Structure 1
Amino acid sequence: MAMQFPPAGGNQLASIMMVEESEINTEGSYLFLEVDSTEQSGQVLLSAFIQRIVDTENNVHILCYENPIAIVKSRIYGTNIHKIQFHDAFYDHKGWFKAGDKEAKETETRNDLLTILQNVKSSSTSGNVVIIDSLSPLILNMGFCESYRQLHMLLNSAQSFFGLTVSRLVSLVHEDVLPNASCSLPQLHHMATTLLKVSPPVRANPIVHITHVKPGGKVLSQREWYTVSGDNSVTSGELTSADLMAVSRPSESLPEDLTTFKLGLGEEEKQARSRLVLPYLRVDSGGDVGSKVFYEPDAADDWDEEDPDDDLDV
């Protein structure tokens, strides 16, 4: 079923989902990366994108690293599901079971990205869309450097890769389970043509921060709210100014419920603190008019031990 979008001038999410072939980088592949966390899952939005791709594309490959194939299938609707080739990297993600099979080839015992695509039997060598349900298990099993290398090879291969040309790569990644996320995530962000980062709702609907790089190098950035209905149709819209203020300045309350003592000050305590005069502060009475001389004794001063006050005429 075709996805419906409300007419909206600033609806960037709908525009991203209906990306045209002219948007695809002719020197490589188009990477769509969605980033989520435990605060807000991106699985529902990813299923909506998969639905859109299945409805419009003919050569779709889904690599299941995080979920069994049956669960991924249950999230896709319509009669076009037969166009999808599912690849199970969940059941034997380390390749241990296949390694015990003496008849299995060495290239069939690994479940990394390149090995799976090498063994793909596609009816078409061009215009293939590869979807990864989550990059996180792949990175945790293979390490970030090797996973990044394989993604880089796939995305920068303008010609066929093992006889298979990938036009688009779509994936989800969980930012809070990656090792050294502060270093690895920016590298994935830089690799992506379109980056979606979902965050918890401000009022009723979750928020998505969209960053899209046009072929000419222009960068589009916008925050929108979105909802996904039961048939994977997406509705999104621009945030109001109040919502943007709430997103940019989240409330940071002290964890008072987690302590056995009071962390803050009451109004009376704040007033008493403001009236407190510390001993090292000079209080200006305001009654004296004129200049004053303040002298600080020095170690080199010449003191008269017999007349320290200099008040004896001797």
Structure 2
Amino acid sequence: MLSELLQGIESGGFLIIRDSCRYSGRDLLKSFITAALNREEVIHILCFDVSEEELKDGLKPSDTQRLHIHNAYSDPLGWTGHPNFTVQQFSLEDLTNLVKQTSQPKPAVLVIDSLSWILRHKTPPAVCQTLQQLRKGGAVRAVIGLLHTDMHQRGTVGSVCHLATSLISVAPGVKGKEAVARVTKRSKSGKVMQDEEIFCIAEDFTVTILSKPSHAEHKTNSTEEEQTDPTANLTFNLRLSDSELEAKQKLTLPFVFSKEKKTALLHPGPGSGRILYEPDANDDYDQEDPDDDLDV
């Protein structure tokens, strides 16, 4: 599924790459940038986390002609008075004007590096509203964002990821440069697809899918847990012996009626008690309205 996402994101799509301090998702973000440039797409990047030089490092010079980087790294809060781009400009109107400044035949792809920097200086509802407007506004074809999950509370991460049509959570692999990607993709019909793959990234940011993660170790641990008896060292017995089990099965529960008891209750024999009521003259009983004496 990771290869399918690298081949292109549908119009109006929103892809989030979730990483942590254990494994950085920036190389995978560059892989998506490289794949989009190979498809001759125009890309606008909001650069908050790293400098423009570091972001361009490893990209082909010929591809950077369709790459428009908006530097928010040097002065993200506008303290110098002449910033290139600030976090306060993260709004639908400002981003639409920014994208339209470059002449292009089709809508561009907007890359945000990273959403965490914006979430540290703007409220989550405002960020989510802008992202939703970008998806449906038509100014950009798709949005790709990097999100550092260990920098935010779980509710903030969940709110932003809820907007994503595709979600990639990356974690370190077992060997060398291997990494594990847990992919969740939501189709327009509402169907949710999930997959987990082991991949590696080459120096030119091409992604190679190696294999599916092996769950043999997890199964072994589960088998060991099943074989372990948690009641082995208890001071009392939780199991019944054969004789105790036989006695339990023969025991008649008080709420279970035998055939003889059911017959006796449904067909009372002679001598059974009955209650007979004969109204007298003072009862004032009306046959047409039996409830006449009730205050209703």
TM-score by length of structure 2 reads 0.68
How far, CA to CA, are the matches of 1:40 and 1:108 in structure 2?
Answer: 27
Counting aligned pairs with the same residue, the percent is: 24
Match of 1:154 among 113, 134, 138: 134
How far, CA to CA, are the matches of 2:111 and 2:103 in structure 1?
Answer: 17
Partner of 2:201: 228
Larger Cα-atom Rg: 2
Say whether 1:58 aligns with 2:32: no
How far, CA to CA, are the matches of 1:216 and 1:47 in structure 2?
Answer: 29
How far, CA to CA, are the matches of 2:95 and 2:58 in structure 1?
Answer: 23
How far, CA to CA, are the matches of 1:93 and 1:113 in structure 2?
Answer: 15
Contact 1:35–1:195, Cα closer than 8 Å, also in 2: yes
Offset at residue 16 of structure 1 (A): 1.3
Partner of 1:242: 215
Secondary structure, counterpart of 2:120 in structure 1: helix
Contact 1:94–1:111, Cα closer than 8 Å, also in 2: no
Instruction: Give the alignment of 1:1-314 within 5 angstroms.
Output: 12-19=1-8, 23-24=10-11, 29-98=12-81, 110-114=88-92, 115-120=94-99, 121-124=101-104, 126-157=106-137, 159=138, 165-178=139-152, 180=153, 182-204=154-176, 205-242=178-215, 245=218, 274=233
Secondary structure, counterpart of 1:137 in structure 2: helix
Structure number with higher relative contact order (C-alpha < 8 Å, ≥ 6 residues apart): 1
Look up the equivalent residue of 2:140 and give its one-letter code: V
Look up the equivalent residue of 1:16 and give its one-letter code: L
Contact 2:128–2:163, Cα closer than 8 Å, also in 1: no
In the alignment, structure 1 segments of 5+ residues that lack a partner are: 1-11, 160-164, 250-272, 283-314
Offset at residue 86 of structure 1 (A): 1.0
Contact 2:76–2:87, Cα closer than 8 Å, also in 1: no
Offset at residue 215 of structure 1 (A): 2.7
Q: Deviations over 1:227-267 (max 9, x none)?
A: 00111111014315436838x98xxxxxxxxxxxxxxxxxx
> 199-208 or 126-135, which moves further after superposition?
199-208
Look up the equivalent residue of 2:167 and give its one-letter code: L
How far, CA to CA, are the matches of 1:119 and 1:227 in structure 2?
Answer: 34
C-alpha RMSD of the superposition: 3.1
How far, CA to CA, are the matches of 1:243 and 1:52 in structure 2?
Answer: 34
Q: Deviations over 1:2-60 (max 9, x none)?
A: xxxxxxxxxx111111136xx43xxxx21111000011111111111111111113321
Secondary structure, counterpart of 1:232 in structure 2: coil
Distance verdict in 2 for CA 1:112–1:240, change over 3 Å: closer
How far, CA to CA, are the matches of 1:244 and 1:143 in structure 2?
Answer: 42
Look up the equivalent residue of 1:155 and give its one-letter code: R
Secondary structure, counterpart of 1:245 in structure 2: helix
Look up the equivalent residue of 2:157 and give its one-letter code: L
Look up the equivalent residue of 1:212 and give its one-letter code: K
Distance verdict in 2 for CA 1:90–1:245, change over 3 Å: same
How far, CA to CA, are the matches of 2:218 and 2:103 in structure 1?
Answer: 50
Contact 2:199–2:211, Cα closer than 8 Å, also in 1: no
Look up the equivalent residue of 1:219 and give its one-letter code: V
